[in-house]
Amino acid sequence: MIYLDPLFDYGWKYGPSSHLFCDAHTPLDRLHDFAQSIGLKREWFQSQSRMPHYDVNKRRRALAVRNGAIEIGRQRMVEIMRGWKEKSAINNQQSAMGTDQPLLL
């Protein structure tokens, strides 16, 4: 599933923004394909955050909703972030054990 959190003014030069993201069970390729379909560039992807995402302005957010992204509240976003944290911890543990293949949840 592809999600959007509520618009918030983070002080971004493009005005209030939202995060476009997926849960830890959704392949990131699906998120990238969706982002591309609404005009986002791959280089805008933020993989080093607590939850991989794209920042979107109000106009792109509206387009994402029209194209099927699910609007959620902050609480649900926190739950999804926890899923990413758990997936990262499992993958890090496997790396430490010398396992080549990450565990896909």
Element (H, E) at 54: strand 54-57
Contacts of 28 (CB under 8 A, 6+ apart): 22, 52
Q: What is the pLDDT along the chain (105 residues), one digit of tens a residue?
A: 999 999 999 898 889 999 999 999 999 999 999 999 999 999 999 998 788 999 999 999 999 999 999 999 999 999 999 988 887 655 555 555 565 555 444
- Rounded CA gap, 84 and 22, in Å? 10
Please tell me the predicted confidence (pLDDT) of residue 18: 96
| Placement of tokens 């972030």 in the chain | 81
- Rounded CA gap, 100 and 79, in Å? 28
Residue type, 77: M
pTM of the predicted protein model? 0.81
